[in-house]
Copies of this chain bind each other. A is one copy, B any other.
Amino acid sequence: MLNELKNIAEKINRIILNDDFPSIIEPSYLRGTVLDYPGRGGKRLRPALLCWCCAMLGGDIKKALYPAAAAEIYHNWTLVHDDIIDEDDVRRGLPSAHASLAKYARSNFKVISSGAGKFGRDFAMLAGDIQQGWAANTLLKAADHGLSPELTIALSRRMQELVTRELISGEALDVEFPMRGINNVTSRELLDMLYLKTGALLRFCAEAGTAIALESTDFDRPEIRKLGDFASTAGIAFQLRDDWLGVFGNFSKFGKTLGSDLAEGKPTLLLLKACEALEPYKRSRLLGLIGLKNYSMDVIEEARELFIESGAEEYVRRKSEHLADESKAILKEFPENQYRSWLLELTDYLVHRDK
């Protein structure tokens, strides 16, 4: 499956890196930023999901490639804007878009430090704006690569009506929750937010692949709905696993990121469930571990004990496993073939990875 994943990634990289859309962007360093994240590689999981859903139902992967590349570019613009919001200076081991641009401004214009930061944020915002248009345009190009104009329009509308609305609503709620404070966010609200933020684009990928195979513009068709459910459910399982690994992961593998959710005071399901279950004294001990500057192994251990004692650790681990099983059960309703196997393996790979 991992070899097949590489195969898809190569096809997608070829489309993205050879596309003429970014060519005339000015100034050149803005063009560089537009190309930066999409060119950094990554596993291209979303394209694989889209292509394999298509192929599992007998569709032609060639027709799915432009929509798959569009989903990947779309994913990247959301990362650029997310990094601005989260003030993350690193993305996949390299400087984030706004951090690179701020450095550029410091070297090339006589700006003071805060001016460089603002320049970096402003230009990264514009780069993401262009990437959003690039994603939409790449999807429209599917009409030149075997998709009917009607289906191209239907997929394009679905991308806007499903992904843009839901994903950005999810992102907004993710920013709002820490501001509300942990006491004012319920675990239901948190799961709904994950459904929007993580689920929407994955749902789109599965729906698009299925719609291409069936040559259907009806997103209420059972196959499209079911595979959409498969993908968004798997996405939430993955996200919960990620939150769990953020505290219970292997220190040598997770390194500095262990405890980063605690450092940020991010209302994860783990934290909300623990706060709901712990008695007041232990609850305030746990809350006392939030927002520290450094997380030594001792602090992590104390947090782990409280999460385990409250039952939150088990709840989140099982919830993630349960959702992964649920998503795989949906997949198993479809005819058995190699693409279905790869999708099952992909789901396991995401949910059972330990780093």
Q: Give the CA-CA distance A126 to B81 in the complex, in Å.
A: 8
Indicate whether A35 reaches chain B with its CB closer than 8 angstroms.
no
Judged by DSSP, the binding face of A is helix
A88 CB, nearest partner CB in chain B, Å: 13
Chain B CB count within 10 A is highest, among A123, A141, A165, for A165
A114 CB, nearest partner CB in chain B, Å: 11
Q: Give the CA-CA distance A19 to B85 in the complex, in Å.
A: 29
Contacts of A279 in B (CB 8 A): none
Residue in contact with A132 in the complex, picked from B26, B133, B153, B159, CB distance below 8 Å? B133
Interface hits, A95-145 → B, CB 8 Å:
105, 109-111, 115, 119, 121-123, 125-126, 128-130, 132-134, 136-137, 140-141, 143
> Are A140 and B123 in contact (CB-based, < 8 A)?
no
Which of A40-48, A175-183, A252-260 lies at the interface with chain B?
A: A175-183
Oligomeric state, in copies = 2
A31 CB, nearest partner CB in chain B, Å: 8
> Are A137 and B125 in contact (CB-based, < 8 A)?
no
Interface size class of A (residues with CB under 8 A): 35 or more
Contacts of A196 in B (CB 8 A): 26
User: Can you show 28 pairs from A to B with CB atoms below 8 A apart?
Assistant: A21-B160, A21-B165, A24-B166, A25-B165, A27-B172, A27-B176, A30-B172, A81-B126, A85-B122, A109-B179, A109-B180, A110-B181, A119-B179, A121-B121, A123-B175, A125-B125, A126-B171, A129-B129, A130-B168, A132-B132, A133-B164, A133-B165, A136-B136, A140-B160, A141-B157, A143-B153, A149-B149, A149-B153
